Structure 1
Amino acid sequence: MHILVTGGAGFIGGHLAEQFVTDGHDVVVLDNLDPFYDLDIKRHNIDIAREAAEAGDGSYEFIEGDVRDADLVTELVTDADYVYHQAAQAGVRPSVEDPRKYDEVNVDGTLNLLDACRDTGIERFVMASSSSVYGIPRSLPYEETHPTTPVSPYGASKLAAERYAMAYSQVYDLSAVALRYFTVYGPRMRPNMAISNFVSRCMNGEPPIVYGDGTQTRDFTYIDDVVDANISLLDTDAADGQVLNIGSTDNIEIRTLAEEIRDQLAPERELVYEERHDADAEHTHSDITRARELLGYEPSHTIREGVEEFVGWYQDNRGWYESLVRK
């Protein structure tokens, strides 16, 4: 199969591209190499996927470009059977400073892809959405029918993008699925995420920094589980026109997570608390019933199991990864 992965040099997109190539598919990655975080991680993702192509039956091509370039997007979609749209301007807090960029990339960029997919007639369009679309919880865990009241421009842009995808699915008979990710983590994750920062600071004898009082809770999802959910959409149309939560089996208080990482790596350190940002969600917790029923989705990692695997990977890759986390 010919698969286009937008944002395929990023964390989730990079893992997807690597797995698709390993499975023997022909993959084209479109990524603008935005320096939201260190580009060496993105280049590392590209190298790993290329190595996978050299070792197997799949092929890999990287194209530096932007989803805002409608002509380029149309050209690339023409040759694709499936489009996995992972490209986005990430970051809840930065979106408060520059909301229009988030609209341009996350909404207009998605519309460029949807228009191209509608006109070309691909097999399926799969897009990355976010738990940020829920905003303030009225009840937990979040079901997909929970009201969507995002509290950040990032969340608003992701909600608008997925609504367009679902509308195109209805109006233009386009096979489209939106996956609402819940705080994805794992090897090669963005260095500015809580888990990578907690691990890095503890391994260097520094206290973890918790923003707010630490009673906020998160549903952390291991990267392998996210990849499995995406791959399953190559083989089923059961979720077409649907929005699905992709989370884990539990959630955890941020301070408890920091304490557990601290106790494992630097037990003598006290936690440090700093001011919480208003755009940060108070709680996230996913109900995965719909994904389980339609995709057979079943998370393989609890947060504690996933963090243990990440710590092991971090220790094995400390030489190149840690320098980027600590910039």
Structure 2
Amino acid sequence: MTQQLSHQHASFPRRAVVTGASGFIGSHLAHALVQAGTVVIGVDRRDPATDRTAATNLAPLRTLPGYIHVAADLIGCAIEPLLIDADAVFHLAAIPGVHPSWGPQFSDYVASNILATQRLLDAAVRMRIPRLIVASSSSVYGATDGGHSVETDHPQPASPYAVTKLAEEQLCLAHAAQPHCPTSVVALRYFTVYGPRQRTDMFTHRALLSALTGQPLRLYGDGHHRRDFTYIDDAVAATIAAATAPDAHGTINVGGGSNTSLLEVISIANSLVGRDIEVHQENPRHGDVLTTRAHPGRAQEVLGWQPQVDLHSGMHAHMQTLAAEPTRYNRAA
């Protein structure tokens, strides 16, 4: 499934930098930009020459002109040369995941999500980059009453990971608020992005893999957790719109405004293969909030964006990709 991105915004950057380009959202974003004629400098500490996931994610870009990959870590590399002549920087590089952040790996989260971001922002301001788009997360909202999360809500991050994402977005916005700063900042709070090339620990991937292979599915909690799921093509469309919308600034939710329980996700996966998944229920995990649901008004107003892909269609497209790549079945669900 390839969304017609041009229907949702009028223009594309001429030259852009995508950090975290070897990742899930980053690789899709880089591909969409290059297809539209943007010259993309992709930066990631994972080298596709030595990292299998990076190589797989970047494979669609190999035959396309206009993509230049740089294997480098923002925490220590020279950043300014990467930004020369860029119209926009899409900052997606980060360490993801709620659960590993509870422990000794937290220092890595701080280094990658905060300190590296500070270095990038310093360089972007010095190079007078017109706009920087930073990937934030719905996790910054923390526990809610089940209603829509609005950008003006008081954040209550419920995990160390979420704390670093809130610090990251606020750090970027603090730079942009300085007098005479040449760089405007848009912080996109993504709500549970899913689709082909999604991380294998994410729930929709695991549910679909269980459906395809017959392997048991580990379900943490009773399945009544609810998530505002956003298909990857929709997330990419919003991200590109954030680079070119003239009045875009501050925090913006990227989510459709509805949500679905994990049990419903399992039901969709069952329907796609015509058999029931074997579910192994386990205790809930620390940092997993009960529900996420975006208020979509600001994205619609500022970016002219609204999602186009419903969950059933998105999961069907995701499953087709998995079925075509059986080597991805080597990880238990």
Per the TM superposition, whether the score is higher than 0.5 is yes
Q: Which moved more, 1:253-262 or 1:264-273?
A: 264-273
Higher helix share: 1
Supply the distance in 1 between the matched residues of 2:79 and 2:96 (Cα, whole angstroms): 20
Instruction: Give 1:301's aligned residue.
Output: 309
CA–CA distance in structure 2, aligned partners of residues 113 and 26 of structure 1:
19
| Residue number in structure 1 paired with 2:63 | 51
Q: Which has the higher contact order (CA 8 A, sep 6+)?
A: 2
CA distance in 1, matches of 2:299, 2:25: 18
Shift in Å, 1:132: 0.8
Q: What amino acid sits opposite 1:94 in the alignment? A: P
Q: Percent identity at matched positions?
A: 34
Match of 2:134 in 1: 127
- TM superposition shift of 1:60: 1.1
1:233-273: per-residue Cα shift (whole Å, max 9, x none)?
Answer: 34322112x10000124211112211321243252444221
Equivalent in the alignment of 2:295: 287
Residues 146 and 272 of structure 1: is their aligned pair in 2 closer, same or farther, counting only changes over 3 Å? Answer: same
Structure 1 unaligned blocks of 5 or more:
54-58
3-state SS of 1:29 partner: strand
Bigger mean CA deviation after superposition, 13-22 or 245-254 = 245-254
Match of 2:101 in 1: 95
Q: Aligned in 2, Cα 1:51/1:280: closer, same or farther, shift over 3 Å?
A: same
Matched, 1:168 2:175: yes
- What letter matches 1:130 in structure 2? S
Hey, what's the Cα distance between the residues in 2 that align with 1:234 and 1:271?
42
> Does 2:29 align with 1:24?
no
The answer to whether structure 1 residue 154 and structure 2 residue 161 are counterparts is yes
Would you say 1:4 and 2:10 are equivalent positions?
no
Alpha-carbon distance, 1:307 to partner? 1.1
Structure 1 residues 149 and 114, CA gap change in structure 2 (3 angstroms):
same
Match of 1:321 in 2: 328
What is the one-letter code of the residue matched to 1:256?
E
Aligned partners of 2:228 and 2:256 also within 8 Å: yes
TM-score calculated relative to the size of structure 2: 0.90
Secondary structure at 1:76's aligned position in 2? helix
- Is residue 239 from structure 1 mapped to residue 252 from structure 2 by the alignment? no
TM-score, normalised by the number of residues in structure 1? 0.91
Aligned residue-pair number: 316
1:173-192 matches, cutoff 5 A: 173-192=182-201
In the alignment, residue 181 of structure 1 is paired with which amino acid? Y
Residue 319 of structure 2 corresponds to residue 311 of structure 1: yes
- Larger deviation, residues 245-254 vs 152-161: 245-254
- Cα deviations across residues 102-127 of structure 1 (Å, max 9, x unaligned)? 11110111111110111110121001
Unaligned runs of 5+ in 2: 1-13
Decide whether the 8 Å contact of 2:47 with 2:54 is kept in 1. Answer: no
The equivalent position to 2:54 in structure 1, one of 39, 42, 52, is: 42
C-alpha RMSD of matched pairs (Å): 1.9
Map residues 104-143 of structure 1 onto 2, 5 A cutoff. 104-138=111-145, 140-143=147-150
Does the 8 Å contact 2:272/2:316 carry over to 1? Answer: no
